[in-house]
Amino acid sequence: MIKVGIVGGTGYTGVELLRLLAAHPAVELTVITSRGEKGVKVSQLFPNLRGRVELAFVEPDDSVLKGCDVVFFATPNGTAMKSVAMLLEAGVKVIDLAADFRLQKADDWEQWYGMPHACPELLAEAVYGLPEVNRDAIRKARLVANPGCYPTAVQLGFLPLLEAEAVNPRSLIADAKSGVSGAGRKAEVGILLCEAGDNFKAYNVLGHRHWPEIRQGLMAVVDGPVDLVFVPHLTPMIRGIHATLYATLTDPDADVQALFERRYATEPFVDVLPPKSHPETRGVRGANQCRLAVHRPQNGKTVVVLSVIDNLVKGAAGQAIQNMNLMFGLPEVTGLEGIALLP
């Protein structure tokens, strides 16, 4: 059994990690830490875990974490980077669900996250945990930077087009819509039911932290410059991301449907829909899946990709476990075959 520790875990990615790991056949949940909630049973915070997870939050303690095989960080940005070196040294693998290791350049990170990076020397080692791109590297990694929710949905949607050079990389637009759980479980007025309910708005149009992360991933693919406009929106639902992607075709005769089907033919968690389809976020609610459809309206020069994920699963906790499976040589789908809850 893989001994698993979770640092943080009072937020929504935390409870989702617990839900999935509690049912994972090769995992033993060993410790979960939270300074603020120490002594509280996780099932008191999250009633869905009552009777299923008996752990209580404990104060962070290096010696306990060092006894784990893998530690997940479900903490605010800037936390994991302070402990990772110590854990790696102790032979513990680390999967960070926050952003500390997602950008390869410390300068970029410091600009977008507004603080100095605590261990820039580890950035080169960290593997960006998008299995559809980095599967082999993840298998060998000690430190995985789990991708952001928007970056997962957007990159999986653009990849087949960019890899095949079917679109102009200077023409990319990602209009993304997120359920409110993407904003976390924080006491903030803007995400109250009475503020975010029955309402729709864009936010951070002039700059969102996921923009450099997405761009870095796409630039690696095209090995050159990428122009990306990324507009995130808040939509009044709990889970789900729907990214609507636009790009200009370079070859008007490209068979984009075939291109997507080929690219993801063997991927266990990416599902390309038949032509003329419209994926729904509820179709992947609670499931580790990205579902894609590709369109070419009026047979014109613009290709439109529709990409949906559950931001807490394929966009966070599920993908983290997918990475863990790879890092420990387990079948990639282990513990991740739950069917989406609908309605």
Chain residues 227-246 in contact with its own copies, contact rule CB under 8 A: 227, 229-231, 233, 235-240, 242, 244, 246
* Block residue for tokens 């957007």: 154
Residues numbered 101-140 forming contacts with its own copies, rule: CB under 8 A: none
What contacts 106, CB < 8 A, 6 or more positions away?
117, 120, 123
CB of 191 to its own copies, least distance (A): 5
What contacts 44, CB < 8 A, 6 or more positions away?
none
CB of 89 to its own copies, least distance (A): 34
Q: Which of 251, 240, 244, 219 is nearest to 230 (CA)?
A: 244
Residue in 119, 149, 194, 290 annotated catalytic? 149
Per-residue CA distances from 135 to 144, 158, 202, 223, 322 (Å): 11, 18, 33, 19, 10
Amino acid at the residue 207: G
Compose the 22-41 pattern: x for residues touching its own copies by CB under 8 A, - for all others: xx------------------
What phi and psi, each to the nearest 5 degrees, are found at residue 74? -115, 55
* Block residue for tokens 């759980």: 181
Residues numbered 69-98 forming contacts with its own copies, rule: CB under 8 A: none
CB of 122 to its own copies, least distance (A): 28
What contacts 254, CB < 8 A, 6 or more positions away?
164, 166
Active site residue 149: yes
Residues forming beta bridges with residue 244, ordered by sequence position: 175, 306
Site size for its own copies (CB under 8 A): 82
**Segment near its own copies (CB under 8 A); pick from 85-93, 171-179, 252-260, 327-335:** 171-179
Give CA–CA dist 249/57, Å, rounded. 51
Of 52 and 82, nearer to its own copies (C-beta) is 52
15 belongs to the binding site for its own copies (CB under 8 A): yes
Of 67 and 268, nearer to its own copies (C-beta) is 268
**Segment near its own copies (CB under 8 A); pick from 67-75, 85-93, 304-312, 324-332:** 304-312
Of 217 and 240, nearer to its own copies (C-beta) is 240
Of 119 and 174, nearer to its own copies (C-beta) is 174
Residues numbered 173-232 forming contacts with its own copies, rule: CB under 8 A: 173, 175, 177, 179-181, 185-189, 191-203, 205-207, 227, 229-231
Residues numbered 272-301 forming contacts with its own copies, rule: CB under 8 A: 276, 278-287, 291, 295, 297-298, 300-301
Of 124 and 206, nearer to its own copies (C-beta) is 206
Total residue count of the chain as it appears in this document: 343
DSSP, residue by residue, 57-92:
-B---HHHHHTSSEEEEES-TTSGGGTHHHHHHTT-
| Catalytic residue IDs | 149
